[in-house]
Amino acid sequence: MRSRPSSTKFGRKTERHRFNEPALREVAFTTPEGEFDNHDTLGTVLSQVRDTADAKALQGAVPSLRYKRYLSASAGSLLSASRLYVSDTELRGAFLELIHFAEVALRDRFDRALAPAYGSHWFKGRTVLLDDRTLDKFREAEGRVTHTSKHPARVIAEVSLGGWGYLLEVGGVGTGGGGALAGRADYERDLWDGRIEALFSGTITTRQEAAALVRRVRRLRNRVAHHESVVFGVHQPGERDAVGNHKRQLPASALADVRQLLELFCPTAAAWLATCNHVDELLADQLLVDALNEMKTFLPKTQWF
């Protein structure tokens, strides 16, 4: 998580510098014996993409359509594409570490805000009106709890980030069932009832702003969880700018969102997390910078933010 020690221990910066020299992109290099001993990380995997033979071996494990994007961003160099693919994998893993803290803090903060007002089983919709899609998420979560006690904390831990995000939306129709209230939910009025300001710390103070932030982080999380690329940005489905360009979030902007989300719910943890800069280091790597710039030329009708 934290910034890794200097490259003399891990060999990362030296290798990247050598690799980024165009004349050496197809030249194998060797790793000093023992250089990566006892370091079970994807950085170690990256160091082992030594030559075209290694690159072909990796390519054999990846569908050709998926690999095509990495080849396009690497000017057709198989070795460059393979190293970029592994770097993107490491980037996703580093993002997931940060998202973990933000997501856990969010669900704890929501539960601590709602349970005193509506009871520990507030998510059943018997004491406050919840719409069907929200209830479905919590019922699915409860169904995954195998422990006989079905303790609320166990259910809370099973709810996805999307489920929590629903609580920041406007609210929809609740048809009842299982003892739940029926009607049209208005989350700002009925669920939060003036608690929204006390819920957040930092610059975001409205439900709408928080909802948009959670949506963006959820899209990032979904890409990471489904092993989709992050180095080429995060597509925002259904969102376009004023002239019809698709919206796509830059990786650095996505990182800022994750940190801001944690800051909303736990500022002290956010201050600590700001010192965990492995994602920053990866995004600054020239290999990833060049790939993102190259991809921008393939997506001209895109608003990057």
What H or E segment, with its residue span, contains residue 81? Answer: helix 78-118
CB-based contact 304:242 (threshold 8 Å): no
Q: Which of 261, 264, 263, 231 is nearest to 249 (CA)?
A: 231
262 touches 214 (CB < 8 A):
no
Distance CA 5, CA 220 (A): 27
DSSP line for 162-187: HHHHHTTS---EEEEETTEEEEE--I
pLDDT in tens, 221-232: 999 999 999 999
**Residue 44's pLDDT band (boundaries 50, 70, 90)?**
low
Kindly report, residue by residue over 218-274, the tens digit of the pLDDT.
Answer: 999 999 999 999 999 999 999 999 999 999 999 999 999 999 999 888 888 888 888
Say what the pLDDT of residue 146 is: 86
Cα separation values, 298 from 15, 53, 87, 98, Å: 28, 28, 20, 29
pTM confidence score: 0.81
Give the type of residue at 19. Answer: F
Average pLDDT over residues 205-221: 94
Most confident of 25-29, 63-67, 103-107: 103-107
**Lowest-confidence range among 8-12, 83-87, 235-239?**
8-12
Taking 3-state DSSP, the helix, strand and coil percentages for the chain, each rounded to the nearest 5, stand at 60, 10, 35
Is residue 34's pLDDT more than 50?
no
Question: Which amino acid type is present at position 136?
Answer: D
